[in-house]
Structure 1
Amino acid sequence: MKGAVYQRGRTWTYRFRAADKDPSTGRYPTISKGGFATEKEAWKACRDAMREADEGRVVRPSTRTVTQFLDEWFTAVEASLDATTWQNWKDYAKSYVVPHIGNVKLQQLDEPELLRLYAKLLTEGRIKQDRNYEMYCYWRRHAIDGEAPAPREVADACGTTIHAARAAVRRYKSGILPTKVDPGLAPKTVRNIHAMIHRAMADAVAWKYKAHNPAANVRPPKRSRSRRTVWNPEDIQKFLRAVSHDRFASLFLLELTTGIRRGQICGLRWHDVDLDVREVTVHDNRVVVAGHARDKAGGKTRNADQTIAIDRVTAAALKTWRERQNDERAFFGADYHPGNYVFTFEDGRPPHPDSIRQRFDRLAATAGLPRITFHDLRHSYATAALKAGVNPKIVSERIGHADVGFFLQTYAHVLKNDDRDAAEQAAAFLIGDDYGSSATSE
């Protein structure tokens, strides 16, 4: 295989004939590329291109844009990706990638372009307006001047729904005040976007659309190490007392005593619950895809599908709940929704995971508790279990963490708090109580 370099105007172009015929035409394709500033640069690029051709990685020049490639890519990989992952990645592409680099030619997408994208997303990438803080500013301003505005007035002034304004005003009155949201995306979100781009560019290389994967040479933003807010035992007990008469009180109790994921608790079925031996097998998942709830077999990680024990109080609460549910099933008869879900509405319909999250937000605000997310109940359980002296490996397995090492990193601050107690316990066991008194008497 021989190449040639020649000048065209003010730039240089390389050209060579591929070693293998094109099956569709039966001819040897000619590969060329121009625009090089010097003859030396053109020769270097020519040698690199010929080496790639020898290895079967011929990339033909194309004007395909990033947007055009992503449209093709999402269609091709939908069947091979988890539904929630596919939808999340597609949302990332639509909201954060296409608006910024969608018009860039795929073959020209390089490392500096990706670094500029990530920097912009970190500083000004948020597309959703901070309506919560806007509502609070309006409500607080008018509350200081006189009578606090009604939810309808807040909704009309800030362009939100009456439901959002009503929930917001309830939070403000209970002392749960928002802070202004940063206009940039969180580093974790940008890391997720990077993961999507990395996978897409790897496929572009495999499909011979690009010569190399630029995302492979770019480091995503560092993951923030901020601690999540959790409830202490007093907060948890206050919440459970406040929701004791709520329809889903046993759901919240099970969440707080096991720490299983939201989708798993919404997708739990009675054939996976054994109240006699007090065990729950976590398997089925109820996930949200494009706003709609759907059932999905299998958990989020390889350790998510497992059987875990539940305590006596939680088991008793579930028995009482099942009796109530059986009465409702008898009342509705043939109109009762099939599925055998543990937690349902009166007619047997399983709850939408987002409705459970919203219900929790309302109940926590009404109880006057520190604002946390439903997912933070999982962290609250793990933190409380560690402080109660449960082995970290056991806690990690119970909540279905894929990596015990990551679990220990996440909850290192909790374990560190027990360091002094550990020192005292170990010393007491090793040297006994008499050592100190005899040393003192001498």
Structure 2
Amino acid sequence: MTRRAQPINKHTAANGTVSYWFQIDVGTRPDGSRNRQRFTYRTMAEARREYRRISTEVAAGTYVARQTITLDEFLTGWLDGRRDIRPVTLAGYRHALKPVIERLGGVQLQHLTKTHIDDLVEWRMNSGRAPTKRLSDGSRAIVAFVGTQPDGVSYADVALEFGESGAKALDRLLAGGHVERPSRGRYLLPAASETTQTGVSARTVVTMLVQLSAALDDAMAQGFVVRNVARLVDRPKIVDREMKTWTDEQAEQFRSHVEQDRLYPLWLLSLYGLRRSEVLGLRWDAVDFYAGTVAVVAGRVVVAGQGTVTGDPKSRRSRRVLPMPPEVITALRAFKAKQAAERLIIGPGWPDTGLVGVNADGSPIRPETYSAEFSRQAKEAGVPAIRLHDARHTAASLMLDRGNPPLVVAKWLGHDPALTMRVYGHVYDDALQSAGASMFSPKAGDSAR
């Protein structure tokens, strides 16, 4: 189209200001009518240049209408629209994108650049660690009370001073690192740390970038932006660390130590590879004593701002029925009988939750309490300190090490087989030594020839 053919019009305002404008169809509205927009510029040259650009983009289907929506508005709406994921997963997404909204929320979505995100990554890596969450007045009072006793305090001491609810707060303070428990029933203030880490880990930054990229992909699909600038940002390298696991002997040592513990059937389920959420979400009606099976159909997790909630398992593969060994079924049967006796003692005040993992008073076991108790039991058993989730790694490693097919192990864990081999396929030093020694050793039957 020649310059004279371009439909650019001149307009002179009452005050003598001259402007140049044109109208062009940029698409269709939701009702099917054409979306005709007007564009105004200060000079003829600018109007001609923009007319050629816009008409070309409209013809190619790449035109993006000008929007004033901010990054904060878009990300908030994007998160609110995520209805296809579990509450705990959505809480993780919100946490990952929180620094993006706080630092860049006022930037218009279409003005977001790679430099903006690069600066955010630099800040997160060097000084972007969020301050420790402020304790409530009641929790601060408990911490102060613990600090007044150089030799520490007992659970009963706190219960006498602050009541039963105050004593239960010790578990949350222990999980948050505000107090420590060097021995059973004894709580102390933790030793002061000499170093303060101000930046976050590379894995945290990568998680933030992954979620931001997913959101901007959706912005592209909706026609808000031309490109996803988050994908142009170099992600920090994550240094993979070998997961800690127990050997067969160490797992057996822990099992023997907790055999007389009230929560022995729960520890067995953890040793057999169930997630914490699956153990604490297990209901008695999902245990079939006659068939000897445990059905994983729910999970109890901690959701920020909502507390502990019960919902679906982690994924579609997580929903499964596991034929448990006799020792697990026997332990569960004994635990159910014990709970029946405890319920008779409590009387009508016993909460009827239907959960397997409850305290002696019938209240559900809190996830952080279960993890803290696992660490304490492991320390008393004299085995290496590992996370509760590492017991799941141990189960997978031992199953694979015993020659079980990866597909079977993945089915047991409720995982994808490829993920099982990549994440849980640990081998031990003796297995590595055997593999190396077998390279040039005589094959079976060679000596007989």
What band does the TM-score fall into relative to the shorter chain?
Answer: 0.7 to 0.9
Q: 1:28 aligns with which of 32, 36, 54?
A: 36
CA displacement, residues 32-91 of structure 1 (integer Å, 9 cap, x when unaligned): 6899xxx79994x7655434434666533334322232233333x143432112211122
For 2:418 and 2:196, the matched residues in 1 are separated by 31
Corresponding residue number in structure 1 for 2:210? 195
Q: What SS does the aligned partner of 1:389 have?
A: coil
2:327 paired residue among 307, 313, 316: 313
CA offsets per residue over residues 82-106 of structure 1, 9 Å max, x none? Answer: 2112211122222x21232223221
The alpha-carbon deviation at position 206 of structure 1 amounts to: 3.4
Root-mean-square deviation over aligned CA pairs: 4.2
Provide TM-score, normalisation by structure 1: 0.74
The answer (yes or no) to whether the contact 1:151–1:162 under 8 Å persists in 2 is: no
* 1:227 partner amino acid: E
Aligned equivalents of 1:60, 1:107: Cα separation in 2? 10
Please give the residue correspondences for 1:34-49 in structure 2 after superposition, counting only pairs within 5 Å: 43=49, 47=52, 49=54
Paired residues, number: 397
Aligned to 1:134: none
Match of 1:114 among 113, 117, 129: 117
Change (3 A) 1:162 1:306: closer
Partner of 1:262: 276
- Quick check: 1:344–1:350 contact (8 Å CA) kept in 2? yes
Per-residue deviation, 1:109: 1.1
Q: Matches of residues 1-20 of structure 1 in structure 2 within 5 Å?
A: 17-20=24-27
- In structure 2, the partner of 1:156 is none
Give the distance between the partners of 2:23 and 2:428, measured in 1 at CA: 64
Alignment match, 1:98: 101
- Which moves more between the two structures, 79-88 or 46-55? 46-55
1:377 aligns with 2:382: no
Q: Which residue of 2 aligns with 1:10?
A: none
Give the superposition deviation at 1:418: 3.0
* Structure-to-structure mapping, 1:166-181, within 5 angstroms: 166-167=179-180
Q: Percent same amino acid at aligned positions?
A: 26
**1 or 2, which has the higher helix percentage?**
1
The one-letter amino acid of 1:278's match is G
Aligned equivalents of 2:252 and 2:23: distance in 1? 76
> Partner residue of 2:230?
215
Q: Deviations over 1:151-205 (max 9, x none)?
A: 58xxxxxxx99754541655999xx999967543233322321232122222323
Q: Distance in 2 between matches of 1:179 and 1:429?
A: 57
Asked if 1:357 is matched to 2:361, the reply is no
Secondary structure class of the residue paired with 1:17:
strand
**Which position in structure 1 is the counterpart of 2:411?**
397
- CA shift, 1:315, in A, is 2.2
Residue type at the aligned position of 1:102 = G
Confirm or deny that 1:60 pairs with 2:65: yes
Q: Is the 8 A contact 2:396 2:425 kept in 1?
A: no
Contact 2:273 2:391 in 1 (8 A): yes
Question: Are 2:256 and 1:238 equivalent residues in the alignment?
Answer: no
Distance change in 2, residues 1:84/1:130 (3 Å): closer
TM-score (norm 2): 0.73
| Matching of residue 272 in structure 1 with residue 286 in structure 2 | yes
Counterpart of 1:387 in structure 2: which amino acid? Answer: D
- The 1:33/1:375 distance shift into structure 2, 3 A limit, reads farther
CA distance in 2, matches of 1:347, 1:243: 20
> Does structure 2 conserve the Cα–Cα contact (< 8 Å) formed by 1:194 and 1:215?
yes
